[in-house]
Structure 1
Amino acid sequence: MIKVENLSYSFPQKNLYNKISFTLEEGQHCAFIGTSGSGKSTLIDIIMDPEKYMFDGKLEIDPNCRIGYVSQFSQLDKPKETTVFEYIGEKFIKLQNEITSICAEMETSTDIDTLLEKYQQAQDAFDAINGDEFESNINKKLNLADLSNHKDLMISELSGGEFKLVQVIKEMLNRPDLIIMDEPDVFLDFENINSLKNLINSHKDTILVITHNRYLLNHCFNKILHLENMELQEFDGTYIDYNFSLLQTKIELQELAAADDEEINRNEILINKLRFIATELSDSSKGRALKARVKIQQRLMERRIKTPFVDIKQPDISLSTDNKIEETIALKVTDYSVAFDEILLENVSFEIKSTDKVALIGPNGTGKTTLLKDIYKNNNASIEINGDVKVAYLSQNQGEILTESNTILEEFADVGFETYQEIKSYLSNYCFNDKLINQKIGSLSGGEKNILQLAKVSAIKANMLLLDEPTSHLDTYSQIALEKAIKNYNGAILIISHDYHFIVNCMDYVLMIEDKTIRKMSMRKFRQMIYAKHFDKDYLEIEQKKKSVETEIALALKNTDFELAKTLSKKLEELIKLL
Structure 2
Amino acid sequence: MIKVERLSFSFPQKELYNNVSFTLENDQHCAFIGTSGSGKSTLIEILMDPERYLFDGKLEMDPDCAIGYVSQFSELDNARETTVFEYIGERFIKIQNEIQSICTEMETSEDIEPLLEKYQLALDAFDTMGGEDFESNIHKQLNLANLLNRKDLKVSDLSGGEFKLIQVMKEMLNRPDLMIMDEPDVFLDFENLNALKKLINSYKGMLLVVTHNRYLLNHCFNKIIHLENREIQEFDGRYLEYNFSLLQTKIELQELAVAEQEEIERNEKIVNHLRVIATYNAEASRGRALKARVSYQERLEARRIKAPFVEIKQPNIRFDIENELDDALVVKVDNYSVAFDELLLDNVSFEIKSTDKVAIIGPNGTGKTTILREIFNNNHDSIEINADAKVAYLSQLQGEMLKDSNTLLGEFIDAGFKTYDEIESYLSNYGFEGEILNQKIESLSGGEKNIVQLAKVAAGKANVLLLDEPTSHLDSYTQIALENAIKEFKGAILMISHDFYSVVNGMDYVLIIEDKTVRKMSMRKFRQMIYASHFDKDYLETEQKKKSVEMKIESALKDTDFELAKKFVDELEELIKLL
Identify the TM-score tier after normalising by the shorter chain.
Answer: over 0.9
Distance 1:302 1:422 in 2: 34
For residues 509 and 13 of structure 1, the distance between their equivalents in structure 2, rounded to whole angstroms, comes to 45
Amino acid across the alignment from 2:187: F
Partner of 2:223: 223
**CA positional deviation for 1:108:** 4.5
Which whole-Å deviations, capped at 9, do the CAs of 1:352-402 have from their partners, x for residues lacking one? Answer: 122211111011111111111111122222212122222111111111111
Asked whether the 8 Å contact 2:246–2:310 carries over to 1, the reply is no
Aligned to 1:444: 444
For the residues of structure 2 that align with 1:558 and 1:435, how far apart are their CA atoms? 32
Aligned-partner Cα distance in 1 for 2:404–2:476: 25
- Determine if contact 1:34/1:227 at 8 Å carries over to the other structure: yes
What amino acid sits opposite 1:66 in the alignment?
A
Query: Taking structure 1 as reference, are residues 306 and 409 closer, same or farther at Cα in structure 2, changes over 3 Å only?
Result: closer
Match of 2:393, as an amino acid?
Y
Contact kept in structure 2, 1:512 and 1:520, CA below 8 Å: yes
Q: Which moved more, 1:254-263 or 1:493-502?
A: 254-263
In structure 2, C-alpha distance between the alignment counterparts of 1:576 and 1:320, rounded to whole Å = 36
Return the alpha-carbon distance in structure 2 between the equivalents of residues 297 and 321 of structure 1: 48
Unaligned runs of at least 5 residues, structure 1: none
Which residue number in structure 1 is paired with residue 30 of structure 2? 30
Alignment check: 8 A CA contact 1:257 1:306 kept: no
The corresponding residue for 1:574 is: 574
1:397-445 Cα distance to aligned partner (Å, 9 max, x none): 1111111221111111122222221111111111111332112212222
Structure 1 residues 226, 276: closer, same or farther in 2, change over 3 A?
same
- SS for the counterpart of 2:434 is coil
1:245 counterpart SS class = helix
Q: 1:115 to 1:576 in 2, by over 3 A?
A: same
| Residues 257-296 of structure 1 mapped to structure 2, 5 A cutoff | 258-259=258-259, 263=263, 281=281, 283-285=283-285
**Take 1:62 and 1:80, find their aligned partners in 2: how far apart are those partners?**
35
Change (3 A) 1:111 1:22: farther
Q: Using a 3 Å threshold, how does the CA distance of structure 1 residues 555 and 127 change in structure 2: closer, same or farther?
A: farther
Q: Which has the larger displacement, 260-269 or 500-509? A: 260-269
Give aligned pairs, total: 579
Match of 2:404, SS state, is coil
Q: Is structure 2 residue 402 aligned with structure 1 residue 378?
A: no
Structure 1 residue 62: deviation in Å?
Answer: 1.9
Task: Please identify, of 290-299 and 352-361, the stretch whose mean Cα deviation from structure 2 is larger.
Answer: 290-299
Superposition map of 1:58-77 within 5 A: 58-77=58-77
Q: Tell me, in whole angstroms, the C-alpha distance in 1 between the residues paired with 2:108 and 2:255.
A: 81
Kindly indicate whether the alpha-carbon contact (under 8 Å) linking 2:129 and 2:174 is maintained by their aligned counterparts in 1.
Answer: yes
Q: Which amino acid aligns with 1:487?
A: K
Specify whether residues 327 and 275 from structure 1 end up closer, same or farther in structure 2 by C-alpha distance, changes over 3 A only: closer
Note closer, same or farther for the CA distance 1:181–1:570 as it changes in structure 2 (3 Å cut): same
Matched with 1:315 is 315
Secondary structure class of the residue paired with 2:403: coil
Q: Deviation digits for residues 96-144 of structure 1, max 9, x if unmatched? A: 1112222333444566554444334322321222111111110000000
Partner of 1:471: 471
Does structure 1 retain, via aligned residues, the 8 Å contact 2:228–2:308?
no
Which amino acid letter does the alignment assign opposite residue 383 of structure 2?
I
Structure 2: segments with no counterpart, 5+ residues: none
Instruction: Specify the alignment match of 2:202 in structure 1.
Output: 202
Partner of residue 163, structure 1: 163
Question: For 1:39-65, what per-residue CA distance to the aligned partner results, in whole angstroms no more than 9, with x for missing partners?
Answer: 111111111111222222111112221
- Distance in structure 2 (CA, Å) of the matches to 1:47 and 1:394: 33
Calculate percent identity across the aligned residue pairs: 73
* SS at 1:413 equivalent: helix
Instruction: Give the corresponding residue for 1:420.
Output: 420
Deviations 1:4-33 (A, max 9, x none): 111112233322221111100011011111
Cα deviations across residues 76-114 of structure 1 (Å, max 9, x unaligned)?
123432110111011011111112222333444566554
Structure 1 match to 2:2: 2
Name the counterpart of 2:331: 331
The alpha carbon displacement at 1:570 in A equals 2.6
* Higher deviation after alignment, 114-123 or 19-28: 114-123
Alpha-carbon contact 1:396-1:469 (below 8 Å) kept: yes
Matches within 5 A, 1:235-274: 235-256=235-256, 258-259=258-259, 263=263
Please name the residue that 1:363 is paired with: 363
CA distance in 2, matches of 1:439, 1:312: 23
- In structure 2, the residue matched to 1:500 is 500
| Counterpart position of 1:346 | 346
- Quickly say closer, same or farther: Cα 1:331–1:301, change in 2 above 3 A: closer
Q: Which amino acid aligns with 1:408?
A: L
Q: Is the 8 A contact 2:469 2:497 kept in 1?
A: yes
Distance 2:253 2:218 in 1: 26
**In 2, Cα distance between the equivalents of 1:334 and 1:346?**
10
1:192 matched to 2:185: no
Question: 1:408 aligned to 2:424?
Answer: no
Shift of residue 325 of structure 1? Answer: 2.1
The reply to whether residue 127 of structure 1 matches residue 162 of structure 2 is: no
Q: Distance in 1 between matches of 2:401 and 2:302?
A: 51
The code of the aligned residue for 2:81 comes to: E
SS for the counterpart of 1:196 is helix
Contact 2:79 2:87 in 1 (8 A): no
Moved more, 506-515 or 288-297: 288-297
The letter for the 1-side match of 2:129 is I
